[in-house]
Amino acid sequence: MSSQYRDIVEDGLWKNNVVFSQLLGMCPTMAVTTSGTNGLGMGLATTAVLLVANMLVSSVRNYVSVQVRIPVYIVLIAALVTVVDMTLNAYLHDLYKVLGMYIALIVANCSVLGRAEAFAARQPVLASGLDGLAMGLGFTGALTLIGLIRELLGGGTLFSQASLLLGQSFAFMEMTVIPHYGGFLLMILPPGGFLVLGLLLAGKRVLETRRSTAKPAMPTPTLAAHCGV
Amino acid sequence: MNLDQFREKLGYHSLVLGVIALAASASLALTDNSTHGAIKAAEKRDLQQSLAQVLPSGFADNDLLKDQVTVKDADGNAVVVYLPRLGATSKGAVFEVSGRGYAGEIKILMGVDPAGRIVGVRVLKHQETPGLGDKIEAAKARWIYDFDGKSLGQPAPEKWAVKKDGGQFDQFAGATITPRGVVKAVKGGLEFFAAHKDEIFAAPPAVAGKEP
């Protein structure tokens, strides 16, 4: 059993990473990774939704018939995101002002529906929750990494405005790596997102090919065919 | 008929879909009901905070959310003008203006004293490029404070522009369109105030406990 859980975690964080392997959730990936802080915020909000959505879907999986499963999952996910949106707005208003624009975007993130369909619909609640958590953390890591690279090349800083997201005690994370840097606008504009993602994808492929020199690298998982948002 | 057979029936699909939709709407209605008041209060607090930001502390002692007047600008759009007062003395006006930035509308709140000098300017909402255009936010740079104390005559009208256009306001490295939009909008706000001064100050002070 524990090896199954280890596989789930490894899948989510690295082997089957939402961004780098499944190539899902490209819309938020490109749109918000203009800084490390933005990537982190979007990643954490998505992780929370993935975790709860997976557990919800898993707990109703025995009652939902195959024919209507997609509408049911969509309704569940959309309702969940809206509840999160309203609750954050009401009780964590300062955090909501920073994350606000990302929350609604989570509904459009294909990886949430993708995990519901590919994992939670077939697995027990605990394993599904763990899968949501691992996939979410993998997504968070990827978004933060892309954001940091774009921010560093584009503006010469790292984690700027992290204290707005995480609170004043995290102000130490804000770093100016290259002082008096003129800025490289392209990296912050949309092409920068594509460039950085492409290079990181290629890098991951190279790493994996080197690791498994004995057997050829596995093709990209079939799930990517579901949708391309 | 056992469950497995029933599951294949059309009625079962509708039932499942209906039950889930009902549960989802119920949870949304419940959440909306329980968060509505808190969200309204938070938004009111936001507006109060923005109003407080453009006015120095002790500048006014009335409830700005109640003391307001609606004035039509040159284009016929209704502008809500908040009227800060200290006792019975009118201390000026606070209103929203909007400018065009690099990525759409920039919403700006500005406070002006009765003589037409700027008391404070803050950007409320914008979609400018992070790290470049967003230096117009008070939280990210000191730039927006440059407007404090300025008026239509000081600097001269032709100096109300970014340095690149021959004016006296700084632009940012890699971003000129954003500050240009803000400077133009603030100048427009001053012109609006000058043109409608009489109308704005004609409004009587709000009576305590009565909504405007």
Residues A70-87: tens digit of each pLDDT? 999 999 999 999 998 898
User: Which SS3 state, helix, strand or coil, does residue B160 take?
Assistant: coil
The domains of chain B are located at 1-53, 68-208
Q: Chain centroid to CA A54: how far?
A: 14
pLDDT tops 90 at residue B90: no
- Please tell me if residue B11 touches chain A, with a CB cutoff of 8 Å: no
Instruction: Please name the residue that has the structure tokens 């490390």.
Output: A36
Do the chains contact at B32 and A161, CB–CB below 8 Å? no
Is the alpha carbon torsion for A149, A151, A154, A156 positive or negative?
negative
Tell me the pTM. 0.74
Which residues on B lie below 8 Å from A38 (Cβ)? 130
* Total CB pairs under 8 A between chain A and B: 81
- Tell me the pLDDT tens digit for each residue of B184-212: 999 999 999 999 888 888 867 665 444 44
Q: Are A143 and A40 in contact (CB under 8 A)?
A: yes
Tokens of A96: 């909501």
Phi then psi for residue B167, to 5 deg, are -95, -160
- Tell me the pLDDT tens digit for each residue of B126-136: 888 766 788 89
Report the pLDDT value the prediction gives residue A224, as an integer from 0 to 100. Answer: 45
B174: left (phi over 0), alpha (psi -120 to 50) or beta: left
The domains of chain A are located at 3-210
Do the chains contact at B17 and A71, CB–CB below 8 Å? yes
Phi then psi for residue B125, to 5 deg, are -155, 135
Q: For an interface test with A, which of B5, B14, B20, B137 has the most A Cβ atoms less than 10 Å from its Cβ? A: B20
- Tell me the pLDDT tens digit for each residue of B170-185: 988 778 899 999 999 9
Whole-number percent of chain A with pLDDT over 90: 37
**For chain B, first and last CA: distance in Å?**
67
Q: For an interface test with B, which of A72, A84, A94, A175 has the most B Cβ atoms less than 10 Å from its Cβ? A: A72
Q: Is the ipTM of this complex over 0.90?
A: no
Do the chains contact at B130 and A38, CB–CB below 8 Å? yes
Q: At what angle do helices A125-155 and A36-60 cross, to 10 degrees?
A: 170
